[in-house]
Amino acid sequence: MKIVSGVNNIKECEILSSISDEFYFGLKEVENHRKWYSFLNIKDTDEAEKLIKTAQSQRKKIYIAANETYDKTETSKAVEIIEKLIKKGLSGIILRDINLAEHFKNKTEIILSSTALVFNSNSLKFYKELTGLKRLVIPQHLKPEEQFFIKKIKDIEYEIFYFPDVYCSNIDGACLYHDFDGIIRKKTNCSYVFMSGKQKIKMAHPSAKKRFETIYNYYKLGANYIKTARDGTTEEKIKILKKIKTLISIMEKNPSKKVFYSCLKKYFNIYD
């Protein structure tokens, strides 16, 4: 299982290189699913070119997250910028917009973002025909038992999030709550309390153990990549990436569920 790290600047790319297999970033000029946060986006194309160069010098692939839908003007602008970055060595695009994808079909690697809201094999086939996608990022809330399409569609690789750290209780691709104050990400954002009449409703949030178990189950199903968010400081990211490395080395030993649970206690202090 390969590790994909979200990076916000060149220095971070250099520091995280020894514990990452690939990188991705957001760019201020191309709207993405963390558009509200300037610190999660590279400031301009020049800086993005330097970032790409840095990843290349570390022999790592690097992708841009352009995972929103765009109107005609926005699409033209995104196409122009991304074409420029591809010439500089960008490895591909994490996207959801069909117009953008059709433009880049067979021209670069296309990764279908979790924001595309692909929940079944027919929608994945639909996207594959239109976009020629190589990889699907599985929406966070989908459980492995719902992944009846995984490995059934030829030539597609699958990517999951590191759920102990990244988990939206709603449908992440359509969830506005992690962004709803427009300024600061709070841990409670995605567990926003809804009102139904006079009744309060809160979406379920699985325990840490369950979220680890989900990764184990996806690993068994053959998921190829695990990714981290762009959020957090570089120090926090290092800690998370080390945890992911430990987790992968545990899963590579093909443990039974029972042994896996005991490893969660031993290495992650997870009991329930």
Under the rule (CB under 5 A), what is the footprint of Zn ion?
168, 170, 175, 178, 190
Token duo for residue 238: 């290092």
The residue (of 22 and 68) whose beta carbon lies closer to Zn ion is 68
Smallest gap, in angstroms, from Cβ of residue 194 to Zn ion? Answer: 12
Smallest gap, in angstroms, from Cβ of residue 144 to Zn ion? Answer: 20
Neighbours of 178 (CB within 10 A): 22
Q: Distance between CA atoms of 146 and 171, rounded to whole angstroms?
A: 15
Smallest gap, in angstroms, from Cβ of residue 219 to Zn ion? Answer: 24
The residue (of 92 and 139) whose beta carbon lies closer to Zn ion is 139
Neighbours of 69 (CB within 10 A): 15
Smallest gap, in angstroms, from Cβ of residue 138 to Zn ion? Answer: 16
Output the CA–CA distances (angstroms, integers) from residue 193 to 63, 171, 201, 225, 243, in the order listed: 34, 14, 6, 32, 31
Strands (E), the chain: 2-6, 22-27, 41-42, 61-66, 92-95, 109-112, 135-137, 157-161, 194-196, 199-201, 225-227
The residue (of 96 and 178) whose beta carbon lies closer to Zn ion is 178
The residue (of 147 and 169) whose beta carbon lies closer to Zn ion is 169
